[in-house]
Amino acid sequence: MADDQLGAARDGVAGPDDVQPYLDAFAAIDADPAHVLLVAAHSDDVVGTLQLSFLPGLARRGALRAQIEAVRVRADHRSGGLGSAMVTWALAESRRRGCALVQLTSDKRRGAAHRFYARLGFTASHEGFKLYL
């Protein structure tokens, strides 16, 4: 998270107390089968993450939709196909769970990421709105 151009300012751990919110969030994700946290490891190092969430809804005849968040690949492991492998796994898992669609948002400043998602079959058909509380 900290090893990310746009995320560095809002994430990071300065001391032991800063770890607890991340542990609490991990426990919440881990406890709920509607959320899957994919971790890519190289030896003992975490080099990639992806969160996949499954959301019930009434639209599209009550279809389950999958949502991808927190796609991160460590800088020294980029451009080697790891991101593609993680997203491809997410698509297969979404298909296996019977989802009608997979969705994600990507900051408009991440041009390379947009080309990456387009190559994997995603369409930038929507505006992604955010409001920080």
Closer to its own copies by Cβ: residue 41 or 131:
131
Residue 24 contacts its own copies per CB under 8 A: yes
Q: Does 85 bind its own copies (CB under 8 A)?
A: no
CA dist 70 to 8, 62, 98, Å?
13, 26, 22
Q: Which residue stretch of 16-24, 40-48, 75-83 sits at the interface with its own copies (rule: CB under 8 A)? A: 16-24
Residue whose tokens read 């009434």: 58
* Least distance (Å) between residue 75 CB and its own copies: 17
- In the block, tokens 């151009």 appear at 5
3-state DSSP call for residue 7? coil
Residue 99 · residue 54 · CB < 8 Å: yes
Judge whether 68 and 51 are in contact, CB under 8 Å.
Answer: yes
130 is a site residue for its own copies (CB under 8 A): yes
Q: Which residues bind its own copies (CB under 8 A)?
A: 1, 7, 10-11, 18, 21-26, 28-29, 32, 34-35, 37, 49, 51, 53, 55-63, 67, 69-70, 91, 94-95, 99-108, 114, 117, 120-133
